[in-house]
Amino acid sequence: MEFAFAYFDMFIGHHVQAIAESGKIDVEFVFSREEAEAGDENTFYFWPSERTERMVVGFNRLIQRDDIELEPFSLSYPLALEDFVERWENVWELFLSLDARTHSYIIGARPRQD
């Protein structure tokens, strides 16, 4: 089996969750493609993309603006890229708890240019 790679993106979150829960294929989130290439060939790897980095910014702006409670998701402010890799299921549950308009806000966020 060849390595399977994909950039992590919230749009594929429900597919990743289904794959992980099936137990048929190991799923692992890593920080880079290089880290994935060094891994097991029977594991499906995901790593953050630039879009994921924008989503970190979007989540943090939203959390600060709307005072969103993160404790139910075992997360804390500010969210970091590490949360998306090491606690992706928690981030995904947080994302699902929000409405579609808020999803668009999070996905479209850009870092401020100071």
Q: So what's the pLDDT on residue 5?
A: 40
* Structure tokens belonging to residue 21: 């829960």
What's residue 2's pLDDT?
A: 33
Q: Please provide the DSSP assignment of 20-69 as one string.
A: HHHSSSEEEE-S-HHHHHTS-TTEEEEEE-HHHHHHHHHHHHHHHHHT--
Q: Using alpha carbons, list the distances in angstroms from residue 62 to 47, 59, 85.
A: 23, 5, 20
- What pLDDT is attached to residue 97? 92
Cα angle: 43, vertex 15, 93; to 5 degrees = 105
82-111: average pLDDT: 85
Q: What count of other Cβ atoms lies within 10 Å of the Cβ of residue 28?
A: 16
Q: pLDDT tens digit string along 34-78?
A: 888 898 877 888 888 888 888 899 999 999 999 899 999 999 999
Residue 5, H or E segment: strand 4-8
The per-residue pLDDT for 20 is: 67
* Residue 87 pLDDT: 92
Least reliable range by pLDDT among 2-6, 25-29, 96-100, 109-113: 2-6
- Domain boundaries of the chain, sorted by first residue: 4-107
